[in-house]
């Protein structure tokens, strides 16, 4: 009886080799933007790694936000053996942040027979478009610098301006005093 049961199990394992195979993968997504701004186009590099026991035959890729809204989708053809990594590069428009300035997202891959989404959300900082005045000093006028995504007067410039105004006012006061003193003598 035990030998029959063992023989049946061995035959089942030989007939259905994929029955115990595990499909598992991980990802790392890296946008090229130094400061990612909602609505801007950016190049993205997505590295997928097959952590499972069987080959994954990728047919498509999508990215979903925390509300399960797909904000990027693309067909693709790629096969990944167990332990293999593949890097996918693409260009996309950045969606609005999910909460504050943070976009919570997860990638999904389309396989021949199913769609698999990551169980974990990743995060990306995305600045709302209306809150960005500048990204670098080049975006501001010559006497301003970019600080905290806003154009601000260069440090020391307001001091110089105040000094000049003070000197001009001082010269005017001295001139008025001299004129007043000279008129009293005659």
The per-residue pLDDT for range 12-67, each reduced to its tens digit, is 444 444 444 567 888 999 999 888 999 999 999 999 999 999 999 999 999 999 99
Structure tokens at 125: 């900082």
165 vs 125 pLDDT, higher one: 125
pLDDT of 12: 44
How many percent of the chain have pLDDT more than 70? 83
Average pLDDT, stretch 167-171? 86
Residue 93 has pLDDT above 90, yes or no: yes
Higher pLDDT, 176 or 80: 80
Place of tokens 């069987």: 54
Cβ burial of 135 (10 Å; 0-12, 13-18, 19+) is middle
pLDDT band at 3 (very low <50, low <70, confident <90, very high): low
pLDDT at 11 over 60: no
Q: Is 52 exposed, middle or buried (0-12, 13-18, 19+ CB in 10 A)?
A: middle
Reply yes or no on whether the pLDDT at 9 is more than 60.
no
- Domains defined for the chain, CATH in brackets: 21-131 (2.60.40.10), 133-171 (no CATH)
Is residue 104 very low, low, confident or very high in pLDDT (cuts 50, 70, 90)?
very high
Check residue 20 and give its pLDDT: 46
Residue with tokens 């115990």: 20
Question: Would you place residue 149 in the very low, low, confident or very high pLDDT band (cuts 50, 70, 90)?
Answer: confident
Predicted TM-score (pTM) of the model is 0.64
CB atoms closer than 10 angstroms to residue 113? 8
pLDDT in tens, 174-184: 888 888 787 76
What pLDDT shows up at residue 155?
Answer: 81
């Amino acid at each position: 009886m035990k030998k029959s049961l063992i023989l049946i199990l061995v035959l089942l394992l030989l007939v259905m080799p994929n029955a115990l195979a595990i499909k598992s993968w991980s990802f790392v997504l890296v946008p090229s933007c130094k400061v990612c701004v909602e609505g801007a186009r950016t190049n993205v590099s997505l590295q997928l790694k097959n952590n499972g026991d069987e080959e994954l035959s990728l047919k498509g890729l999508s990215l979903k936000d925390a509300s399960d809204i797909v904000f990027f989708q693309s067909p693709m053809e790629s096969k990944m053996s167990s332990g293999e990594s593949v890097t996918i590069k693409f260009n996309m428009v950045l969606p609005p942040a999910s909460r504050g300035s943070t976009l919570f997202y997860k990638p999904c891959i389309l396989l021949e027979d199913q769609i698999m989404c990551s169980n974990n959300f990743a995060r990306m900082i995305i600045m709302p478009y209306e809150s960005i005045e500048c990204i670098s000093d080049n975006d501001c006028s010559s006497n301003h610098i970019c600080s905290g995504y806003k154009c601000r007067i260069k440090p020391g410039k307001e001091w110089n301006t105040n000094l000049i105004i003070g000197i001009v006012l001082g010269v005017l006061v001295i001139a008025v005093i001299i004129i007043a003193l000279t008129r009293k003598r005659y």
